[in-house]
Amino acid sequence: MNYHAKEMNPQKIGLLEGFWGNRNQLLSEVIIPYQWNTLNNRTEGVPLSHAVENFQIAAKEMEGKPEGTIFQDSDVAKWIEAAAYSLMHHPNSDLEKNIDELVRLIGKSQHSNGYVNTFFTAKGIEQRWSDLEMGHEMYCAGHLIEASVAYYQATGKRQLMDIMVLYANLIAEEFGPEEQKLHSYDGHPEIELALYRLSEATGNTRYMDLADYFMNIRGSIKKDPTGVTDKEGMVQKSRWLKSDYFLDDKPIREMTEVSGHAVRAMYLYAGVADQYRRTGDQKLWKALTNLWDNLEQKRIYITGGIGSQSLGERFTIDYDLPPDRGYTETCASIGVVFWAWRMSLIDPDSRYADMVEKEIYNGALSGISLDGKAYFYVNPLEVNPRVAAFRQDMEHVLTHRVGWYDCACCPTNIARLMGSIGKYIYSSTDTSVCIHQYISSETEIYLEGEPISLHQETKYPWNEEIQISLKMEHQKRFGLMLRKPVWCDEWTLEINGIACNSYRLEKGFIHVDRIWTDGDTVQLKLEMAVKLFQADSRAQDYCGKAVLMRGPLVYCMEEFDNGPQLQELLIDPESNFELEEEIVQSIPSVHILLDGYRQTIRTNSLYGPMKKTERTKVRLKAIPYFQWGNRAKDQEMRVWIRTI
Amino acid sequence: MNYHAKEMNPQKIGLLEGFWGNRNQLLSEVIIPYQWNTLNNRTEGVPLSHAVENFQIAAKEMEGKPEGTIFQDSDVAKWIEAAAYSLMHHPNSDLEKNIDELVRLIGKSQHSNGYVNTFFTAKGIEQRWSDLEMGHEMYCAGHLIEASVAYYQATGKRQLMDIMVLYANLIAEEFGPEEQKLHSYDGHPEIELALYRLSEATGNTRYMDLADYFMNIRGSIKKDPTGVTDKEGMVQKSRWLKSDYFLDDKPIREMTEVSGHAVRAMYLYAGVADQYRRTGDQKLWKALTNLWDNLEQKRIYITGGIGSQSLGERFTIDYDLPPDRGYTETCASIGVVFWAWRMSLIDPDSRYADMVEKEIYNGALSGISLDGKAYFYVNPLEVNPRVAAFRQDMEHVLTHRVGWYDCACCPTNIARLMGSIGKYIYSSTDTSVCIHQYISSETEIYLEGEPISLHQETKYPWNEEIQISLKMEHQKRFGLMLRKPVWCDEWTLEINGIACNSYRLEKGFIHVDRIWTDGDTVQLKLEMAVKLFQADSRAQDYCGKAVLMRGPLVYCMEEFDNGPQLQELLIDPESNFELEEEIVQSIPSVHILLDGYRQTIRTNSLYGPMKKTERTKVRLKAIPYFQWGNRAKDQEMRVWIRTI
């Protein structure tokens, strides 16, 4: 691969009225304040976070011991990052004041050697790096670094980044290939991609070097699972905390199957993609594409959920994708976005942006309620609340979103994804502009030093029309790459109102290479037919079943619309599909009405001789998967429905 | 209910050549010796039992500490019981010598107060009854009592029964309603039904009284789950070891749903049935029938397996019957037989004998290999070995039988069930003889003091013909009750070669009330058509699927015959079914050939737009469920197959 695209400066991408513009308004007005209150223990009826308090304690402005998970600091970091994105387009001096105060606390909690971590500060920082398997120190560091870069980009304020530079310098002094240094890495990848961001923000390649070191020694030096400290019942799980859980059973360059803890895996692969972009090491690219193929072809749910098993929150084996017991953590879906996006900068293949799309409209997005104040950690594709409430092997499955979690990694993570959604819309090379996502927005892209203004308007994902207009001072020849989504079979393209035939379709992108003029408009129409999707029959849970999709959206059926016992329902593939526009919690939505059957079987006993059972014709209703559980709590939901 | 039938003396029931005659020959020649060797740590490649050694230690004839589970004594007891049944019809002086030596050891291990238990002997018997939740002392006592009664019945030797009478006396002195006594009961029911057997064998009602006491206080006095000792990781499970696990969340008379630990539940309900037979307390009968209805209508697998969840080895909720993750322990299926049999003595309804039949040909029988030397603890209805080997929520599922277990309750239990199978064939009242099971056998039944000889010959369950002949000195009027199995729709009855129309069909029994004469013959033909069974659609795992049955046998499909990816298979309900006689490991068997399809779906990616997928017509082969896993190890198997 020698295509290397550039990311946009997030500051330069403004969201307009539309699906994501509205979501980002909610982020600024509701989600950021809600999460701030929660991190400060001010939300009633949810588990106390203590995350801000922990920094007050570490800064010696409060008595006590840090509480919460050992990686509680990262919640603060991710919130700062989300808030920074929000500030880029929704200035808010009160919010900025809160963050500055937080930054002051973080700074005050920093040790003279640069170390920052509330938990290990309480333990005594001579114990730092003593539990690299599960201590999450560099994971927290990575999130603080990412936050510091985002806040710097949003406000130009360097304080937090300066703090994190000192901390990163400490890490670089204490870890590395030199004999006197520690030869290890964090059990939870995150620092790697953060160090890349820090290098880009500071121009100092030292941090990338360190990231590469961490990635390169993985597999030659392994984590020792017997050294795992026991917090939250980890001892009982120890036989699962094996090397492959930590993604260090083999060197990265030899990896072929996505495995281990799903979030760890995604963050690591994202870091590896960064390393490949820097080094061009073809062994890394080979590993990345093998891993990607394995993910896409064998180990991902149709919603974009990943991690088929609760214990270890992890990947299992090919085609093992139980709809009711998967882990499908919101954070893991977010991690897929990070990795996919980096892949799309390396390889101009739409499969990566298709994956980003899958996540942001389905697997990741289902992790937050429409009102922004309730979250799913686990995003199942099928719930039967009575069963999930009883069965121990579904203990991890909640059938309603909750306001916060004891381990609350997901809420702030989805917030920062929402805040940074603009980043995933465009990329560019010297001679091309690539549109990955169809999201109402405007931006300015520099091609060989010349600015092109790009304005995109669309009601996507509800509506199939996308209107793009270009502004520029001088005519300019460049390639415009428009993603043809994988779900779309028919589409039309007009330029300045005239059907365009001079394009080429390559690796899922429509390439229009021409001399563009100020005022040019592009109209893309992506036919959004309702379609039934099926699975490879090696995925044993899905034989005889199908999923309704429209555009990028996976649909599901809820008890709310279709009554209980959803397993009795059958879709008629010959059905006409009727679209119904509906406002759900002030969000416009498109629901699908279709023909199907309900097959209710009553036998004399629990089992009885098979009879020609009458099917009752019913009109079924499906809603977008990401909206499930918003209208009622603890009801049945199914993505995969039997077909006649 | 005021029908009270009598059991037969097991000594009086001889099995003839046929399905169970052959199985019992294997029991005597292979299984009993194999298990004896294993209990003596002489079988290679299996977990060491230590069970006999523990008695040598307790008898002070060996140094050391007892090893194995805390209820290891019960393995010895169940083996003695199985061996006793074997001796009734297969005299074997070497075997008897081994048992006598064991009895001597048990006697020598008995404390002066009567107490017998190898584990608590090592702990110091002042600690007896200190862990009634999980200590299993009275559970072991119960099994030893049952063994002692069986050995007495088989050989007339009273030594072991005398030992157990002393022990039972101790228990009766230490537990009871009197103020100075302990007011409690064992966490694992078993002593209750054993005490009933002891009362019957000794004529002393004191033991029944104690059993009634134990059952009656359940629910008013509860086990304290926080007091559970931690052996084998029980602490992590403690939140599951709640009152309902122990079947003491409410008084027995108020129970309506089968719940808790499945084996505990079955043994308790069997004891309750004994109590009802004695007392006629209608509240008990109401509870028993409510519980039975709940079991039969909502909480049992089609194979007779019970217990839908591994953790707690327990019942869950109505209709929750996952085919791949159930616990379906062999011992629990055996427990169903104990309960069902007692119900059939109370209520002349064939549903109970139908249930016994379901278990002895399916759910319980699958627990032992055809060669008698390998066992299943868990009997799933669907296995995918790759998935079961990886997934933590299938950790309990083995995909091949093994020679022994660390917790080896099942092997000796299935042995004693096999040895006592004759017991479940006949019962009688003063004026009727009831044939519950069609098993080649002969017996002598006394009606009002007069002996009737009954000779039954059949190739059941493979063949539909049953030939019964009667011998008696004087003509006698009595009712002959022949079970019409629930799966049988068409049948013919001939008496002395002439079609019989003078019968009445009542509660599943064909009642023939007439004056019988010496030499009378009865020929019953129960049409054994291959049938497809379906489930109530509230059982969510079975919608769109069916099970092949022929006669009492549940059939399954194995990878061995049908190739892998069994989820791709579809049965054509319109298929003709062809029977194929085959000898599997020297056991004659009938397999079913039928038409079906294999629907293999390959999409571009893991998921793709639904297409009319070609189905390939295939000839499918099904084998009796109990035979699964005998021809190859670790292959796929499915009971429930999709239908077109």
In this structure, are B514 and B554 located in the same domain? no
Which residue intervals of B110-203 are DSSP H helices? 118-123, 137-155, 159-174, 191-202
Assess whether pLDDT exceeds 50 at residue B214.
yes
Total structural domains in chain A?
A: 3
Kindly name the residue from B81, B133, B146, B313 that is annotated as catalytic: B313
Q: Which of A140, A142, A122 is nearest to A64 (CA)?
A: A122
Q: Which of A297, A384, A544 sits opposite B606 (nearest CB)?
A: A297
Assess whether pLDDT exceeds 50 at residue B22.
yes
Q: Which of A393, A606, A608 sits opposite B296 (nearest CB)?
A: A606
Tell which of A396, A424, A452 closes a domain. A424
Give the residue-averaged pLDDT of B35-64: 97
Q: pLDDT at position A228, please?
A: 45
Beta bridge partners of B583: B588
Tell which of B424, B447, B468 closes a domain. B424
Cα separations in angstroms, B410 against A498, B395, B413: 78, 18, 5
Indicate yes or no: CB of B601 within 8 angstroms of CB of A537.
yes
A640: closest chain B residue by CA: B607
Assess whether pLDDT exceeds 60 at residue A637.
yes
What one-letter code names the amino acid at B140? C
Cα separations in angstroms, B17 against A258, B353, B455, B459, B583: 57, 22, 12, 9, 16
Using DSSP's 3-state secondary structure scheme, residue A512 falls into strand
Question: d(Cα B245, Cα B223) in Å, to the nearest integer?
Answer: 10
In this structure, are A332 and A218 located in the same domain? yes
Assess whether pLDDT exceeds 70 at residue A227.
no
Q: pLDDT at position A222, please?
A: 72
Secondary structure element (H or E) that encloses residue A60, with its range = none
Indicate yes or no: CB of B392 within 8 angstroms of CB of A565.
no
The answer as to whether A3 is a domain residue is no
Indicate yes or no: CB of A320 within 8 angstroms of CB of B536.
no
Task: Give the CATH number, domain containing residue A474.
Answer: 2.60.40.1180
Kindly name the residue from B140, B331, B409, B556 that is annotated as catalytic: B409
Beta strands A441-447 and A14-15 are antiparallel
Question: d(Cα A296, Cα A305) in Å, to the nearest integer?
Answer: 11
The answer as to whether B117 is a domain residue is yes
Indicate yes or no: CB of A573 within 8 angstroms of CB of B302.
no
Question: d(Cα B558, Cα B564) in Å, to the nearest integer?
Answer: 8
Domain containing B495: what range? 431-526
To which residue do tokens 């893309």 refer? Answer: A524
In this structure, are A476 and A357 located in the same domain? no
**pLDDT per residue as tens digits for the range B433-453:** 999 999 999 999 999 889 999
In this structure, are A520 and A534 located in the same domain? no
What is the maximal distance between C-alpha atoms in chain B?
Answer: 80
Name the token pair of A352: 């990566």
Check if A488 is active-site. Answer: no
Percent of chain B with pLDDT over 70: 97
Indicate yes or no: CB of B608 within 8 angstroms of CB of A310.
no
Q: Which of B186, B209, B196, B194 is nearest to B261 (CA)?
A: B186
To which residue do tokens 């059982």 refer? Answer: B539
Q: Which of A245, A251, A294 is nearest to A265 (CA)?
A: A245
Phi, psi of A569 (to 5 degrees): -85, 150
Q: Which of B296, B599, B610 sits opposite A573 (nearest CB)?
A: B610
Indicate yes or no: CB of A540 within 8 angstroms of CB of B567.
yes
Interface A-B: count of C-beta contacts within 8 A: 161
Indicate yes or no: CB of B601 within 8 angstroms of CB of A534.
yes
- The dihedral built from the CA positions of residue A146, A148, A150 and A153, taken in this order, carries a sign that is negative
The answer as to whether B8 is a domain residue is no
Question: d(Cα A42, Cα B379) in Å, to the nearest integer?
Answer: 51
Indicate yes or no: CB of B310 within 8 angstroms of CB of A392.
yes
Q: Which of A233, A297, A390 sits opposite B316 (nearest CB)?
A: A390
Assess whether pLDDT exceeds 60 at residue B226.
no
Q: Which residues are CB-neighbours of A627 under 8 A, at least 6 positions away?
A: A370, A584, A587, A589
Question: d(Cα A282, Cα A253) in Å, to the nearest integer?
Answer: 9
Local confidence band at A240 (pLDDT 50, 70, 90 cut-offs): low
Task: Give the CATH number, domain containing residue B146.
Answer: 1.50.10
Min CA distance, B318 vs chain A (Å)?
Answer: 9
Contacts of A393 in chain B (CB under 8 A): 309-311, 325, 393
Q: pLDDT at position B182, please?
A: 95
Could you tell me how far CA A193 lies from the centroid of its own chain? 15
Q: Are A367 and A306 in contact (CB under 8 A)?
A: no
- The dihedral built from the CA positions of residue A243, A248, A253 and A256, taken in this order, carries a sign that is positive
Give the residue-averaged pLDDT of B482-501: 97
The answer as to whether A357 is a domain residue is yes
**pLDDT per residue as tens digits for the range A308-322:** 999 999 999 999 999
Assess whether pLDDT exceeds 60 at residue B227.
no
B309: closest chain A residue by CA: A391
Q: pLDDT at position B229, please?
A: 45
Question: d(Cα B198, Cα B166) in Å, to the nearest integer?
Answer: 12
Contacts of A565 in chain B (CB under 8 A): 537-538, 540
Indicate yes or no: CB of B535 within 8 angstroms of CB of A311.
no
**pLDDT per residue as tens digits for the range B374-427:** 999 999 999 999 999 999 999 999 999 999 999 999 999 999 999 999 999 999
Indicate yes or no: CB of B298 within 8 angstroms of CB of A606.
yes
In this structure, are B200 and B233 located in the same domain? yes
Q: pLDDT at position A272, please?
A: 98
Local confidence band at A66 (pLDDT 50, 70, 90 cut-offs): very high
Q: Which of A312, A547, A567 sits opposite B543 (nearest CB)?
A: A567
Q: pLDDT at position B238, please?
A: 53
Q: pLDDT at position B604, please?
A: 82
In this structure, are A388 and A469 located in the same domain? no
Contacts of A540 in chain B (CB under 8 A): 384, 387, 565, 567
Assess whether pLDDT exceeds 50 at residue A237.
no
Q: pLDDT at position A239, please?
A: 59
Name the token pair of A237: 């799980």
Contacts of B391 in chain A (CB under 8 A): 308-309, 316, 320
What one-letter code names the amino acid at B422? G
Secondary structure element (H or E) that encloses residue A341, with its range = helix A330-346
Tell which of B424, B439, B471 closes a domain. B424
In this structure, are B386 and B290 located in the same domain? yes
Contacts of B311 in chain A (CB under 8 A): 392-393
Indicate yes or no: CB of B309 within 8 angstroms of CB of A391.
yes
Q: Which residues are CB-neighbours of A390 under 8 A, at least 6 positions away?
A: B316, B317, B320
In this structure, are B255 and B384 located in the same domain? yes
Min CA distance, A501 vs chain B (Å)?
Answer: 27
Q: Which of B230, B214, B76, B209 is nearest to B140 (CA)?
A: B76
The answer as to whether A5 is a domain residue is no
Contacts of B643 in chain A (CB under 8 A): 610
Among A390, A489, A594, A607, most B C-beta atoms within 10 A, so best to mutate, is: A607
**pLDDT per residue as tens digits for the range B257-309:** 999 999 999 999 999 999 999 999 999 999 999 999 999 999 999 999 999 99
B234: closest chain A residue by CA: A236
The answer as to whether A481 is a domain residue is yes
Give the residue-averaged pLDDT of A471-493: 96
Assess whether pLDDT exceeds 80 at residue A137.
yes
Q: Which of A300, A311, A390 sits opposite B606 (nearest CB)?
A: A300
**pLDDT per residue as tens digits for the range A553-606:** 999 999 999 999 999 999 999 999 999 999 998 889 999 999 999 999 998 899
Q: Which of A297, A540, A610 sits opposite B534 (nearest CB)?
A: A610
Q: pLDDT at position A596, please?
A: 97
Question: d(Cα B553, Cα A406) in Å, to the nearest integer?
Answer: 50
DSSP string, B545-590: EEEEEETTEEEEEEHHHH-S-GGGEEE-TT---EEEEEEETTEEEE
Kindly name the residue from A81, A190, A313, A636 that is annotated as catalytic: A313
Question: d(Cα B98, Cα B448) in Å, to the nearest integer?
Answer: 40
Give the residue-averaged pLDDT of A488-500: 97
Using DSSP's 3-state secondary structure scheme, residue B122 falls into helix
The answer as to whether A333 is a domain residue is yes
Q: Which residues are CB-neighbours of B91 under 8 A, at least 6 positions away?
A: none
Contacts of B609 in chain A (CB under 8 A): 531-534
Assign 3-state DSSP to chain B and report helix, strand, coil percentages, each to 5. Answer: 40, 20, 40
Contacts of A312 in chain B (CB under 8 A): 392
Average pLDDT for chain A: 95
In this structure, are B638 and B534 located in the same domain? yes
Assess whether pLDDT exceeds 50 at residue B256.
yes
Local confidence band at A122 (pLDDT 50, 70, 90 cut-offs): very high
Contacts of B363 in chain A (CB under 8 A): none
The answer as to whether A10 is a domain residue is no
Among B230, B531, B610, B641, most A C-beta atoms within 10 A, so best to mutate, is: B610
Q: pLDDT at position B223, please?
A: 67
Contacts of A609 in chain B (CB under 8 A): 531-534
Q: Give the global pTM.
A: 0.95
Q: pLDDT at position B243, please?
A: 82
Local confidence band at A224 (pLDDT 50, 70, 90 cut-offs): low
Indicate yes or no: CB of A607 within 8 angstroms of CB of B390.
no
In this structure, are B196 and B302 located in the same domain? yes
Indicate yes or no: CB of A534 within 8 angstroms of CB of B387.
no
Min CA distance, B362 vs chain A (Å)?
Answer: 15
In this structure, are A447 and A393 located in the same domain? no
Beta strands A476-483 and A432-435 are parallel
What one-letter code names the amino acid at B167? Y
Local confidence band at B1 (pLDDT 50, 70, 90 cut-offs): low
Beta strands B641-643 and B569-571 are parallel
Assign 3-state DSSP to chain A and report helix, strand, coil percentages, each to 5. Answer: 40, 20, 40
In this structure, are A169 and A307 located in the same domain? yes
Among A295, A604, A610, most B C-beta atoms within 10 A, so best to mutate, is: A610
Phi-psi sector, A22: left (phi>0), alpha (psi -120 to 50), beta: alpha
